[in-house]
Amino acid sequence: MLDIKNIHASINGKEVLKGLNLTFRPGEVHAIMGPNGSGKSTLAKVVAGHPEYQVTEGEIEYEVNFRKKDLKAMEAYERAREGIFLAFQYPVEVPGVSNIHLLHSAFNMVCKHQGVEEMSQGEFRKFIEKKCEMLELKPQFLDRSVNEGFSGGEKKKNEILQMAVLNPRVAVLDETDSGLDIDALKIVAGGINRLKNQENCIVLITHYQRLLQYVVPDYVHILSDGKIIKTGDKALALKLEEEGYDWLIKS
Amino acid sequence: MRPQVLEKEYKYGFHTKIAVEEAPKGLNEDIIRFISTKKNEPDFVLQFRLKAFEYWKKIVEPKWALVNYPPIDYQDIRYYSVPKTKKAPKSLEDLDPELLKTFERLGIPLTEQKRISGVAVDAVFDSVSLGTTHKEVLEKHGVVFCSISEAIQTRPDIVKKYLGSVVPYTDNYFATLNSAVFTDGSFVYIPKGVRCPLDLSTYFRINNKESGQFERTLIVAEEGSYVNYLEGCTAPSYDNNQLHAAVVELVALDNAEIKYSTVQNWYSGDVNGQGGVYNFVTKRGLCKGVNSKISWTQVEAGAAITWKYPSCILQGDNSVGAFYSVALTNGKMQADTGTKMIHIGKNTKSTIISKGISANESSNVYRGLVKVMPSAENARNYSQCDSMLVENKATAHTHPYIEVNNKTAIVEHEASTSKISADQLFYLESRGFDVESAISLLVNGFCKDVFKQLPLEFSVEAVKLIEMKLENSIG
């Protein structure tokens, strides 16, 4: 569904991704691990279409509903409407805009784009309150300004809430587990598992094996210096936890 | 980073071709007498003008505002310009079709069939009011809503009592100039106990390339009355600058309430800062009676330079003043705007919410004074001044002056400066918002506390106006 072929990407003239290949298929969970500065967040931003990152070489092919799309040629918002989702490592504050307003607007924009009927305010409120329960968020959470004054846990839960609303085909979660206590981690992981299905693909970018105990990956990829240097299954993550990256990078 | 959105045309920039009757350029006693004679004014008005003119000759332009402009040649301005009519039109229907068309293009239909329901309109074109709509309904309630020239003829008692009572002719350079040469503006009188059945609104249009607009508005709300007043402003795109030096006086007596809202969209000049209106305006409300309320809500989105401080004098005990402002500057616009809240009576309250948005190379200044006089026991003020920068070259300044002369006063001031960041835009884009809707969401969030003070249709217009101005500005 998403084919990343020999991607080279740079920011401010500095090359960060240096010929990266990955294939994501529906129903799969991928974990991407790697040392700091290896290009994990860059990969996430390149897939989501951050305008400051330039793809200098390679292709990103995306297939949704049997239609092939050239992701590179699409703006970030078009990608979002076509089912690409990025959960931010550092969710951004949007002062004065209520959470429910953002969620509702985003939901309706995606519906409109995909030719599905939009929801009224009342309908959406009911729909979203159900999703909130899944993440153990109180309904009042919806009326606060987006990410403003949210705790670290609330911010990350809110990202998963947005994912639940947008119902993406490819969801890249950039360090969604960082900064979470164990209870919040379980709730977030539970949310991800509920949203996982045979039609979407979940990509977890993480430093820690911990999240992967709850959301079990089919593949674990090691990213180093802008390339995938090893791919394995969940056992690879465990080995990393014990031995670090040195054995991989030196060899 | 992103393709520059093309400069959208200022859609009110057209000029109406119409025959005018005008005074020669320049300012002297003869011109003032000419204006006064043309308007067939009683002597007290002429004397008011002449005193102001004498005073004006002795004073100099203020320089304390953070704005830059070349010296204004006051002898190169035309102080009187009105559309020529064969005979006085009996009603708005009899107006020159060109004028009706002009206002229709501005979205202000004046004829009976098309006019906006629920809002009475006074249409001011250069130096003259063309007439007001919905007169009959208003008259039924005893509400007077007409041009100030008409009021001078029909209600000289009220005009004499209140003209210059809130903004004296000695107030400041531009107010003094206005007092000498004011041509038209609106007059509102709400009798005792009347809740004005319609929203009242004035639409100001500058058309003449060389004329200044010196309107004078006076609103008097008698005991226990209420009025909601709106004003809008536009001007053609000329390569020279037009001077707009208005004076607005509001008087609220016991238990009266006046809500005054402005959406200002004067031509602001081209991308190089050529042309545009100088908006040098003095607006002040006097909460004269106990429990009276005055609120100013302004959305300042146009004009090359804005110099404007709508203020409240809280004289009556328990009176309440409010100032809600969104000031947007882009291109090379300069705005120095804010308010003054003067607490005199006991238990007086004031609220200031100011939102400044500066884009491109513009400069946006909030300047405000909160003054608590010794007599103002238990005065209370809350001020919040937020600035949003849209680009690196834009500047934002906040100058709050606080003067407290009574120990029981509680004065709070909060301020913040933020930026529409690339991070915010990307965050929203990755949730499916295109750049335009992302900006609109951000700006609406930033200005929410002010927009919610505006009447609904005005609020929708204001949001659209700010969005349109900003679309041009985000690189």
- For B348-368, the pLDDT digits (tens) are 999 999 999 988 888 999 999
Subunit contact A77:B435, Cβ cutoff 8 A: yes
Structural domains for chain A: 2-250 (3.40.50.300)
Instruction: Determine contact: A188 vs chain B, CB below 8 A.
Output: no
Instruction: Determine contact: B384 vs chain A, CB below 8 A.
Output: no
Instruction: Give me the residue label for tokens 């226990």.
Output: B224
Instruction: Determine contact: A173 vs chain B, CB below 8 A.
Output: no
A72-117 tens-digit pLDDT: 999 999 999 999 999 999 999 998 899 999 999 999 999 999 899 9
Q: Whole-angstrom Cα distance, residue B416 to residue B449?
A: 15
Instruction: Identify the CA nearest to A42 among candidates A10, A71, A12.
Output: A10
Model pLDDT, residue B239: 74
Cα B207 to its chain centre, rounded Å, is 17
Model pLDDT, residue B203: 81
Instruction: Give me the residue label for tokens 């100039």.
Output: B177
Judge whether residue B473 has pLDDT over 70: no
Residue A64 tokens read as 């949704």
Q: Whole-angstrom Cα distance, residue A113 to residue A79?
A: 11
Subunit contact B430:A94, Cβ cutoff 8 A: no
Q: Whole-angstrom Cα distance, residue B313 to residue B472?
A: 38
Q: Whole-angstrom Cα distance, residue B438 to residue B426?
A: 9
Judge whether residue B381 has pLDDT over 80: yes
Write out chain B residues lying below 8 Å of A87, CB-based: none
Model pLDDT, residue B115: 61
Give the 3-state secondary structure percentages of chain B, helix then strand then coil, rounded to 5: 25, 35, 40
Write out chain A residues lying below 8 Å of B418, CB-based: 95
Instruction: Determine contact: B418 vs chain A, CB below 8 A.
Output: yes
B5 band by pLDDT with thresholds 50, 70 and 90? very low
B390-407 tens-digit pLDDT: 877 888 999 999 999 999
What letter represents residue A2's amino acid? Answer: L
Instruction: Identify the CA nearest to B451 among candidates B299, B337, B329, B300.
Output: B299
Model pLDDT, residue B2: 34
Model pLDDT, residue B112: 60
What percent of chain B lies above the pLDDT cut of 70? 90
B195-242 tens-digit pLDDT: 998 888 888 777 777 777 898 999 999 999 999 998 887 777 777 788
CA nearest to B442 within chain A? A94
Among B122-126, B277-281, B445-449, where is mean pLDDT lowest? B122-126
B29-71 tens-digit pLDDT: 999 999 999 999 999 999 999 999 999 999 999 988 888 888 9
Helix locations, A151-220, DSSP H: 152-166, 182-195, 210-214
Residue B412 inside a domain? The answer is: yes
Residue B462 inside a domain? The answer is: no
Subunit contact A48:B422, Cβ cutoff 8 A: no
Q: Whole-angstrom Cα distance, residue B302 to residue B270?
A: 12
What percent of chain A lies above the pLDDT cut of 70? 99
- Nearest neighbour of A96 by CB, restricted to B423, B433, B445: B445
φ/ψ (deg, to 5) at B471: -55, -35
B327 band by pLDDT with thresholds 50, 70 and 90? very high
Residue B6 inside a domain? The answer is: no
* Average of per-residue pLDDT values in chain B: 87
Torsion over CA of B217, B222, B225 and B226, rounded to 10 degrees?
20
**Upper half-sphere CA count for residue B272 (Cβ side, 13 Å):** 4
> Would you say A92 and A42 are in contact if contact means Cβ atoms under 8 Å apart?
no
> Would you say A127 and A155 are in contact if contact means Cβ atoms under 8 Å apart?
no
Subunit contact B442:A94, Cβ cutoff 8 A: yes
Q: Whole-angstrom Cα distance, residue B432 to residue A61?
A: 19
Q: Whole-angstrom Cα distance, residue B178 to residue B185?
A: 11
The residue range of the domain holding B126 is 20-421
Residue B435 inside a domain? The answer is: no
Subunit contact B2:A109, Cβ cutoff 8 A: no
- Nearest neighbour of B433 by CB, restricted to A52, A79, A106: A106
Model pLDDT, residue B462: 81
Model pLDDT, residue B7: 39
Residue B336 inside a domain? The answer is: yes
Cα B81 to its chain centre, rounded Å, is 21
Residue B127 inside a domain? The answer is: yes
Residue B333 inside a domain? The answer is: yes
Beta bridge partners of B328: B357
Instruction: Determine contact: B434 vs chain A, CB below 8 A.
Output: yes
